[in-house]
Each structure stands twice: as structure tokens, then as C-alpha cells.
Chains A and B, each alone.
Chain A
Amino acid sequence: MTTTQYRVIGSRPVRHDGADKVTGKAIYTADMKLPGMLSGFVLRSPHAHAKILSIDTSEAEAMPGVHAVVTGADFPNVEDKIADLGEGSVNLAYLSTNCMAQKKVLYRGHAVAAVAATDVHIAEEAAAKIKVEYEVLDSVTWVLDAMQDDAPLLHENLLTDSLGKKAETPSNIPVHMHFEKGDVAAGFAEADVIIEREFKTATVHQGYIEPHAVVADYNEDGRLRIWTATQGSFTCRQQTAEVLQIPLGNVLVTPCEIGGGFGGKITVYLEPTAALLSKKSGRPVRITMTRADVFEASGPTPGSYMRIKLGAKNDGTIVAGEAWLAYDAGAYPGGMIGPGCMCVFSCYDIEHAVVDGYDVCLNKPKTSAYRAPGATQVAFAVEQLVDELAEKLDMCALEIREKNAVKEGARRVDGPVYPPIGLEQCLDALKQSEHWNTPLEGPHRGRGIAAGFWFGCGLKSSAACTVNSDGTINLLEGSTDIGGSRTSIAMQLAEVLGLEAEDINPQVGDTDTAGYTDVTGGSRVTFATGMAAYEAGRDLQQQMKTLAAELWDCSAEEITVNEDGSFSGNGNQLGFKELASQLFAAGEHLVGRATVSPECPTNGFGAHIADVEVDPETGKVTILRYTTIQDAGKAIHPSYVEGQLQGGTVQGIGWALNEEYFFNDDDTMANADFLDYRVPTMLDVPMIETIIVETGNPDHPYGVRGVGETPIVPPPAALANAIYNATNTRMTELPMSPPKLWKAMQSDPSAD
């Protein structure tokens, strides 16, 4: 546990962008207005799978008010070039045709054309006049169906890559992964109890409240300016430049305030289209998605099928695990199967384990990252099996987790050996919690617990701090701020410099002004960009030491930076602000800067407790009480850490109980709105109690671990375990919606 006393870190200042966001002044992309700006509308496929035979845009182009129409024919041919996007590579042909279909549409909502007009209603009317001739093909939306030999084929040339070997005949399976440790057969032979079950999860969406939006202004000189709702302005710049085949340096991406992302605003959808409309019309163009577009044509998270087996000895030691996972990738390869495989046994030290994972293409929108992508599915399965083992062995659910929890030195099935981590401490905090120690009473009620893990990544971040004449700081960084990160980054700079959070004026820069910074994702911003801000502060201090040495007529080595950020040397002592002012007056203009690229994951573990009551007549679940416990390493701004824990938990609750893509018989989505895609409302959840565990991360100056993603991982499992406890019914399918739970309770003879 960290014991260092900080002045700023651990306090709860008001966010720097707060006043703008409570007065309606903050500018989100859809709020942007440029002189002469046109509105765009994207025409989308009504079919789940079809060949495009022809597109006739003439009538739309002739409409008064219409300034440009684009189709796939306007997009450069990028063939199968692989582009490295910093945090993973992408096949540009897939990225490009996902933005605008070429020969085929692969999902309902797939873009086929776009119109720019003086008014969005005119653009919409014009889009309706575009004549697209389709040849409708058979389609498939369930992962196991898509794996069959006779399944409708999405990509004619797609050959399965299995451990580096290519298959000979095409299929819908781009990748088969395999991880193994120990001797699984021997492990199961050693086991006294073995449990195997199948699990299914539905496709769910990030459900950010702000629809995707972009403004593009393509100048006559070839310079393309983009304002957009993105989690990463630099990756947006690169994807846009690659799809349009224009020089990266010609593209400027300015990230506007962003209304939620949760992983879904990393891939580009609208940017290249808006750019081409702007190029054709010679005017800036704004496109915003409708809510239906967001559901049908952005990047939800995979539906999945999982078959998992666990074996344990009579003393509770889990000795063997086997997992067979198939995750849908959506229309294009590259889903979330990788992290699914890595996370499946990530919480338990299992000596013998094997994992096979399949990425599967089918006729849904291309999946994208969603908060701990791939981890929630496997946790739903494994955490229930762990409970079942405990029950069979007459152990308590907590006890079996304590006995098998990973700790420093444990090796995960995909290879890495854990550094110091905090799962044991989270379980200990759970054990000590008031919630756990308060008995749950009453009929149809039950309690469940579950653990969860997400890697938390490092990647590249940059920060620059300019010192003002009064010693305050302008901090420029490149992480788009989705939940208050400006402030948690600024607090780390304030801490190192001995300033207050309010002395720092943080600003999220665009791709021309900020240093290269990877996406706001992977639970990395407070960790990595915070580290960059810290290092920039240290850089500033180094420069100031040199200058103070001149001022105080001594060597830089004789200057000390004290705990409170003041400088002393040769009998002089000045606080940061005072010294900065003196240096400014002496003509020095100070800029500290740093770029960091930490490679180590921050390993975020959590444990949740859920109390539920199930209506035995309807299968409806009411959450009575919920506690989220997580190792934050060190909480920079505890309110924001709590906010991540609470927000992630409630998303997990939505996934657990009601959220799902519901498909019509023709494989089109039946519930592409917030009416029937049921994210939790305020009335559906209780207060979410939080316990922040701080084990300190040795890889960060203040001990930070990423916290954003882990909290979505345990809720479906914790709720499933609670439901079992309340009803004696095991739910193996998400969502555990009332009709499903009611039906399961009817058919389960052991249920009360």
C-alpha cells in the first residue's frame, strides 16, 4: 500500500472544463458551425447482405440545395494494404469499405452513398432519391451458424489463419487462436470435480449518448481539416489519411468535446465520407449519425458462444481449465477474440489450461472495442463456473476465489507473468466490507460475487507545459477528455510542481499542436498521459534548476527541488511560482515537455458484490444493493475513480439484464433505438457503493493503475451468481432478461 502523503493527488478539485459543461457552452462536434457549412446524410443498406448491382445518383444530384453526392466509386482503391495504426494494424480495404460499401453490403446500415445539401432534411430527401439496385444474399447473424461450412460467405477470399497457417478454402473465420500452459489432460485427471457448461452472450452496444459526428473542410490546397468526436485524434488522422490515400501531414484533426465513447469512437466511420463531400462541394460538411445509424452502423461488441470447463481438487485448488470461444467480429475480421482468450482465466492461477478462440465474420456491423473488450463475456462464464465448483466442494464463493486468486509471479495462459497486482487485496476488501458482512434476508433474494480483470495499457502520450509570467501553467496534451482526464492529468503536474490543480490550465490539443498521443482507451490516460505530464513537469524543473543556478550563481547540481516544489540552493529558496516569475522577468520562456511510451500493462483487478430480488412470477430482477471494489493503484481524483467504477458497473448491469441486439427474420436489427435497446435508466439501479483499493503501481510515479474498463467485467457474472442464489436457476445466456429468466425458472425443476 502506498503511504506517501500528497497535496493535490487524492483531492477532489472541480474539473477545469466543468463550468463550460454545466452551462451548455462546451462545444461538441454537432455544435460546430462553419461559414457555408453543408449538412450530410448517409444512405444506408436496408439489407443485411446484398450485392450492389448499380447506384444511380442522378436524381439526387439534380435536387435544388444538393451540392455533392458520393458513393464507393469516389473512394480511392486501397486494396488489401495493411496499415499500422499504433495500437494494432488494420486492413485498409476493410476499413475503407466499412466507411462506404463498394461491391457488397455486409450488414443493415452499411453506408452506400452520401449527400451534402444546404439542410439535413434536403440531404435526407435527396438520399431517398438515390436508386440502388441490390441482389439480396443469404445472411447470418449467429456466430456458430456463421462457422458452418455452408454458411453464407461474407468475404470470398478470406482464409482462416490458424497459428500462422492459412486454410485452403475460404470461410467466415479469419483467425483461430490457441493458447496453452501445462498439461491439460493431466490437469483434469487430477481434478476431483469437473464442471463444463456452454454460455452465450448477445451483441451489445456502447450506447454513448452523443451520436457520431464530424465536420470536414477540404481546402483547395489539399489541406483537410476535421473536427470530430473521437477517442483519438491521431489515430483518426491516420485512418482518414490512409483511407483517402492523402499525406498524413495534410490532415488536421481537432477533437471536439466528446459525448462518450467507451471504445466505440476509435474507428473512423464518417470522416472520409465527410471529407470527400467537402472536396466535391468546396464547402465544409457536417455529418451526424442518427441514433439508428449508431446502433446499426458503428461498432458494437461481439456476441459470443463459449464452452468452458474447469476442474478442481477437493481442497478447492482449480487445477485445469479449458475454453473454446467463438466471438463474432461483425462484418469484417478483427473482433475481440484476442483479449477474450487472454482474459478467460486471468483471475485464477490455474496450472493447466488451454484456450481456443475463433474470430468470426457475420452480417452485423463490424465490432469495435467496448470497455474491456472481450473480457465481460468470459467473466460471465468463468465466474459462474467458479461458483459452481465452490458449491460442489461445499466452499464459500469468496473462499474459492481467495484460494485461487492470481498474485505476483502467476503466469497467465497467454504467457505473461504478473508483476505485483491487487486481486487478493480486492478480495480482502470485499471480505471486510460492510456489504459482505450484512446478511441478506427475505424470499427470492440472493447475493453473488465475481472478480474481473483488464490489462490497462501504456502506449504513447505526450504533454507540454508552458509557464506563464505568474507561474501558472498552460498544459497541452493530446488525450481527448471523456470523463475529466484533463483534471486528473493536470493534478499530477500540479503535484510534481508544488502547485494547485487550479494553477494548471489544461488543454486538449489538436494533431498540429499536441505531441503524438494514442487513443483515450485501454484505461491508459490517467496512467500514461498523467505520466507524460509528470515527466514534462520534471523536464521543467530541470530547466529551472539550470536557470536558477545562473540566477543564484551556483551550479545546477547545487539546486534542490524540495518536496513542496520549491527550489533552493546557495542560500536561496523560492517557490515554483516565485522562481518562475523571476525567470520570466529575466526573459526566460519556459516550456517543459515529455513523451512517454510505457509498455507494461497496469493490471486492474476488481471484485463485485450484488444483491438481487427476483420476481418469481415475472423473472424481473431488482438490484437491491451493489458494491464495486477495485484496485486503482493510486486514485488521483477519487471522485473520478468512483465515477468510472459506478459507470462501468451500470453498463455491466445493463448488459447483464436487458441489453441486446434483437434481429428480425431478415437479419436486420429490430431495436435500433433507445426505446427497445434498453440501457439502464436512473430508476433501474441503486446507488453503486465503491471501495477503492490502492496497491500502488511500481511502474508509475504516483502508483496509478488504469481503472476505466475493469468495472464492466464482473456485473453479469455477479448478477448471475446472485440470481442463482435467489432462484436456484443457472443463467448461461445474456441478457438475463425477464422472459428468459422466467422461462429458465419454469424449466428448472430444482428452482424454488
Chain B
Amino acid sequence: MPATKKVHVTTTINGEEIDFLCEPRHSLLEVLRDNLGLTGSKEGCNNGNCGACTVLLNGRPVDSCLVLGVEVEGAEIETVEGIACSSSLHPVQECFLEGAALQCGICTPGFLVAAKALLDKDPHASEETIRFNLAGNLCRCTGYDKIVRAVQAAGQRMSADA
């Protein structure tokens, strides 16, 4: 895509209203990482096949590499940086750590965002449901076993806390 004039965009990220300028060709992932310093969302493939850049856009998980920065005018975005509540980790983060559900950690932000979205909808998600819904997130280190268990444990902790 050719470069054109930058566009002013106002959006809400992790509960905070933010504005930025971006070229129409810049993806939301580029905006987050390069313009806003939110480097928690990772680029693994830049074509929607790995899920490392997953963020919530108006509550739904999306690959931020396949969203244009200019599209998020007026939207609500949640990234991995917004999962923890002030000083304490979210149950899904705690369970990933306790269950050793990460090795290199590059896919972890995308998994956490997608897993949180799933558990918010269905804290008692079965193994099958977890595997189906998180299949858009690739992990090459863990073999997924401990990730599935961590998501299940987090769901239990979330319903116990609720």
C-alpha cells in the first residue's frame, strides 16, 4: 500500500482514551508497538496465522496485524498490558505462571488475551472448547498441554473469585 497522509485516530486502549496519528497502511499492531510503545503484542507472522498479536477489539479477540490503525476510531481495545488489575495479576496470568504454561513467552501475550476472552464468556470451558477457540494461537514450545491446563485452572479460579 502506498504512503498517504497520516490520519488522526481516537480510541480507548486498556481503559484509557488515546489518540494517535497513523498512515492508512499501518496495522493496529504497528500502531500499538511502534507509535504507542505497547510492545506486549507480538508479531509472529503478520498474516493472521499465529495469534501472537491478539488483542480485544470491542470485546472480541482479533489479530491486530489484520486490523488497520485507522479502523479503530472510537473502538475499545484491550491488550496484554491491560489484563492485570493494577498491582495484582489476573488469574489467567497467575495460572500460566504456576502451571509453567510458557517457555519462551513470545506467544504468551496472545494466548492470555484470547484465553481471558474465552473465560469471560465461559469460565467452565471444556478442554475441547479451549482447544477449539485457542487454535488460532500457535505455540511451538509447550505442546499446549500446560496451556490448556492453565486456562482450565484460571477458569476455576475466576468462578471461585466471582
Q: Which of A257, A673, A681 contacts B105 (CB under 8 A)?
A: A257
Q: Cβ of A640 < 8 Å from any Cβ of B?
A: yes
Q: Would A639 and B138 be within 8 Å (CB), given that A22-B89, A258-B104, A674-B45 are in contact?
A: no
Contact present for A260 and B40 (CB under 8 Å): no
Q: Would A209 and B140 be within 8 Å (CB), given that A14-B98, A23-B83, A28-B106 are in contact?
A: yes
Q: Which of A27, A28, A647 contacts B142 (CB under 8 A)?
A: A647
Contact present for B100 and A15 (CB under 8 Å): yes
Rounded to whole Å, the gap between the CB of B40 and the closest CB of chain A is: 2
Taken together as a complex, chains A and B put the C-alpha atoms of A121 and B39 apart, in Å, by 19
**Would you give the 0/1 interface string for A10-26, flagging 1 where the beta carbon is closer than 8 Å to chain B?**
00101101110111111
**Would you give the 0/1 interface string for B21-49, flagging 1 where the beta carbon is closer than 8 Å to chain A?**
00101000000010001111111111101
Q: Which of B84, B96, B137 contacts A682 (CB under 8 A)?
A: B137
Q: Cβ of B119 < 8 Å from any Cβ of A?
A: no
Q: Cβ of B130 < 8 Å from any Cβ of A?
A: yes
Q: Would A643 and B93 be within 8 Å (CB), given that A26-B105, A483-B104, A683-B135 are in contact?
A: no
Taken together as a complex, chains A and B put the C-alpha atoms of A206 and B136 apart, in Å, by 19
Contact present for B47 and A673 (CB under 8 Å): yes
Q: Cβ of A208 < 8 Å from any Cβ of B?
A: yes
Q: Cβ of B124 < 8 Å from any Cβ of A?
A: no
Contact present for B49 and A24 (CB under 8 Å): no
Q: Would A25 and B148 be within 8 Å (CB), given that A209-B139, A291-B46 are in contact?
A: no
Q: Cβ of B161 < 8 Å from any Cβ of A?
A: no
- Looking at B33, B108, B149, the one whose CB has the most chain A CB atoms below 10 A away is B108
Q: Cβ of A530 < 8 Å from any Cβ of B?
A: no
Q: Cβ of B155 < 8 Å from any Cβ of A?
A: no
Number of A-B contacts (CB under 8 A): 177
Set of chain A residues within 8 Å of B40, measured between Cβ atoms = 23-25
Contact present for B146 and A646 (CB under 8 Å): yes
Closest B residue, CB atoms, query A690: B145
Taken together as a complex, chains A and B put the C-alpha atoms of A673 and B146 apart, in Å, by 26
Closest A residue, CB atoms, query B93: A22
Contact present for B145 and A687 (CB under 8 Å): yes
Rounded to whole Å, the gap between the CB of B75 and the closest CB of chain A is: 19
Set of chain B residues within 8 Å of A12, measured between Cβ atoms = 100
Taken together as a complex, chains A and B put the C-alpha atoms of A25 and B3 apart, in Å, by 31
Scan residues 111-161 of chain B and give those whose CB is less than 8 A from a CB of chain A: 112, 127, 130-132, 134-149
Closest A residue, CB atoms, query B107: A209
Q: Which of B41, B96, B106, B140 contacts A647 (CB under 8 A)?
A: B140
Contact present for B108 and A21 (CB under 8 Å): yes
Taken together as a complex, chains A and B put the C-alpha atoms of A23 and B96 apart, in Å, by 11
Closest A residue, CB atoms, query B3: A121
Taken together as a complex, chains A and B put the C-alpha atoms of A210 and B140 apart, in Å, by 10
Set of chain B residues within 8 Å of A688, measured between Cβ atoms = 143, 145
Closest A residue, CB atoms, query B96: A22
Q: Cβ of B102 < 8 Å from any Cβ of A?
A: yes
Contact present for A687 and B148 (CB under 8 Å): yes
Taken together as a complex, chains A and B put the C-alpha atoms of A14 and B98 apart, in Å, by 6
Set of chain A residues within 8 Å of B135, measured between Cβ atoms = 681-684
Q: Which of B89, B130, B138 contacts A674 (CB under 8 A)?
A: B138
Contact present for B145 and A259 (CB under 8 Å): no
Scan residues 676-707 of chain A and give those whose CB is less than 8 A from a CB of chain B: 679-685, 687-688
Closest A residue, CB atoms, query B113: A24
Interface range on chain A (Cβ under 8 Å from partner): 35 or more
Rounded to whole Å, the gap between the CB of A727 and the closest CB of chain B is: 25
Rounded to whole Å, the gap between the CB of B91 and the closest CB of chain A is: 11
Rounded to whole Å, the gap between the CB of A421 and the closest CB of chain B is: 25
Q: Cβ of A490 < 8 Å from any Cβ of B?
A: no
Contact present for B103 and A211 (CB under 8 Å): no
Rounded to whole Å, the gap between the CB of A486 and the closest CB of chain B is: 12
Contact present for B49 and A674 (CB under 8 Å): yes
Contact present for B47 and A209 (CB under 8 Å): no
Set of chain A residues within 8 Å of B127, measured between Cβ atoms = 687
Taken together as a complex, chains A and B put the C-alpha atoms of A679 and B25 apart, in Å, by 29
Q: Cβ of B71 < 8 Å from any Cβ of A?
A: no
Q: Cβ of A427 < 8 Å from any Cβ of B?
A: no
Set of chain A residues within 8 Å of B98, measured between Cβ atoms = 14
Contact present for A643 and B100 (CB under 8 Å): yes
18 of the cross-chain contacts (CB-CB < 8 Å) are A23-B81, A25-B40, A26-B105, A28-B106, A33-B37, A209-B42, A209-B104, A209-B138, A210-B42, A211-B44, A260-B104, A483-B104, A637-B100, A642-B145, A646-B146, A681-B138, A682-B148, A687-B145
Which B residues have a C-beta under 8 Å from some C-beta of A?
A: 3, 23, 25, 33, 37-47, 49-50, 52, 79-81, 83-84, 89, 93, 96-100, 102-109, 112, 127, 130-132, 134-149
Which A residues have a C-beta under 8 Å from some C-beta of B?
A: 12, 14-15, 17-19, 21-28, 30-31, 33, 121-122, 206-211, 257-262, 288, 290-291, 482-484, 637, 639-640, 642-643, 646-651, 673-675, 679-685, 687-688
Please name 5 further chain A to chain B contacts, defined as beta carbons within 8 Å, in addition to the given A209-B42, A640-B100, sorted by A numbering. A15-B100, A21-B105, A209-B138, A259-B106, A680-B144
